Amino acid sequence: MAVAERTRKAVVPSGVERTMAEDELIVSKTDARGIMTYVNDVFLRVSAYPESEVLGQPHNMIRHPDMPRCVFKLLWDTIKSGQEIFAYVVNLAGDGAHYWVLAHVTPSFGPGGQIIGYHSNRRTPDRAGMDVIRPLYGQLAAEERRHAKSSDALAASAAMLARKAEEHGGYERFVWSLESARAGAR
């Protein structure tokens, strides 16, 4: 069966959280459409998928249903514009477990300067930062569920996220304010 023809099983969240060591990095690469072309062994172990089930598949196959859509929109808008982004993400493993990461996503450029794909390194997020992110993402996801129209849901949650980020001088500063405790401990 061709890679594009594979059907994925529906994964149901189990509520079990998986963690990884602080010195581990999850690495993946995609083409310009977000189709996975490379994953490292940490990705495979933490996501509970064999390589044969992820290569050639959309990276969003590990998207957790509780992950606010507005954060993914911000992420994709940023990297499609040629910029890098750091973002907190909760992913869904193939066995139903979830795992939180601080993702650093960058575009990959071809010889002519065009975006040919994306590269993502993920590490374990600072636990103090997670005390802020978990309730915020819960509020954003709840706001999205309040709206019948998808576009209204996304607009409302994006506005909430923008307000929170502006309290810290922008999204990037907000993320790094949450990681500052870890950086200060080094």
Report pLDDT for 156: 97
Contact 178, 167 (CB under 8 A): no
Q: Which of 79-83, 176-180, 182-186 comes out lowest in average pLDDT?
A: 182-186
Average pLDDT, stretch 139-160? 97
**Would the pLDDT of 29 be above 50?**
yes
Q: Tell me what pLDDT residue 179 has.
A: 83
> Rounded to two decimals, what is the model's pTM?
0.89
Percent of the chain whose predicted confidence (pLDDT) is above 70? 92
Nearest to 48 by CA among 67, 38, 58, 61: 61
Return the pLDDT at 181.
58
Q: Does domain 23-180 have CATH number 3.30.450.20?
A: yes
Residue type, 25: L
Report the alpha-carbon distance of residue 21 to residue 46 in Å, rounded: 11
At 2, is the pLDDT very low, low, confident or very high (cuts 50, 70, 90)? very low
Q: How far is CA 12 from CA 21, 58, 63, 101, in A?
A: 25, 18, 12, 20
